[in-house]
């Protein structure tokens, strides 16, 4: 069975740097043989990370808020249509062995909180999710500044 690494983050337009970071992370996840899981939409972190993983020959799973697979990123191999709206964030968090969280809004914070509550390791890549998340996450919440650092932390977590 493949290890699933979830990547969560903004579903909005990204800066050029944020897009490069997400795409690079997706590529590194695929190169390590892990399956990538995102929110699946053709926007923001979901699309950029999926593109990077797909270009590296990785398996990309998209857990969609809608019932319609046409809203999926074209880089998603397996669209999972939930019809659950934001409630699908629980599926994202619980299906991932490790969650990497890039900058985002309330949806990203909910995924981080759900992952931490479920005992999943979370790596905040390039942002600070705040005092409340740090207090709730303890040792499960770690930080990275680059995709390479995030992947090194994933490797450490999977070895434990």
Q: Based on the number of CB atoms within 10 Å of its own CB, is 159 exposed (0-12), middle (13-18) or buried (19 or more)?
A: exposed
Q: What is the CATH architecture assignment of 4-155?
A: 3-Layer(aba) Sandwich (3.40)
Instruction: Dump pLDDT digits (tens) for 47-80.
Output: 999 999 999 999 999 999 999 999 999 999 999 9
Residue 81's pLDDT band (cuts 50, 70, 90): very high
Structure confidence at residue 134 (pLDDT)? 79
Question: Which residue, 100, 25, 80, is CA-closest to 55?
Answer: 25
Mean pLDDT of the chain, nearest integer: 95
Structure confidence at residue 131 (pLDDT)? 80
Task: Please report which helix (H) or strand (E) contains residue 115, including its range.
Answer: helix 106-117
Strand partners, 142: 123
Domain map (residue ranges) of the chain? 4-155
* Neighbouring C-beta atoms of residue 77, cutoff 10 Å: 15
Structure confidence at residue 35 (pLDDT)? 98
CA angle 151, 152, 157 (to 5 degrees): 95
Structure confidence at residue 58 (pLDDT)? 98
Structure confidence at residue 138 (pLDDT)? 85
Helices 147-159 & 16-31, crossing angle to 10 degrees? 30
Structure confidence at residue 59 (pLDDT)? 98
The model carries a pTM of: 0.93
| pLDDT value at 132 more than 80 | no
Strand boundaries in the chain, DSSP class E: 4-8, 35-38, 60-64, 78-81, 98-101, 121-125, 141-144
For range 81-88, the mean pLDDT: 96
């Amino acid at each position: 069975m493949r290890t699933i690494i979830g990547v969560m983050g903004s579903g909005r337009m990204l800066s050029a740097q944020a897009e490069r970071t997400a795409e690079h992370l997706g590529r590194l996840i695929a190169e390590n043989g892990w399956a990538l899981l995102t929110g699946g939409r053709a926007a923001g972190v979901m699309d950029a990370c999926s593109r990077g993983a797909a270009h590296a020959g990785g398996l990309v799973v998209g857990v969609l808020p809608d019932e319609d697979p046409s809203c999926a990123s074209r880089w998603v191999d397996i669209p999972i249509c939930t019809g659950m709206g934001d409630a699908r964030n629980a599926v994202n968090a619980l299906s991932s062995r490790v969650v990497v969280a890039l900058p985002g809004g309330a949806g990203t914070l909910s995924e981080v909180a759900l992952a931490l509550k479920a005992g999943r390791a979370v790596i905040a890549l390039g942002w600070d999710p705040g005092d409340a998340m740090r207090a709730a996450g303890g040792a499960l919440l770690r930080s990275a500044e680059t995709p390479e650092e995030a992947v090194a932390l994933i490797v450490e977590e999977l070895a434990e």
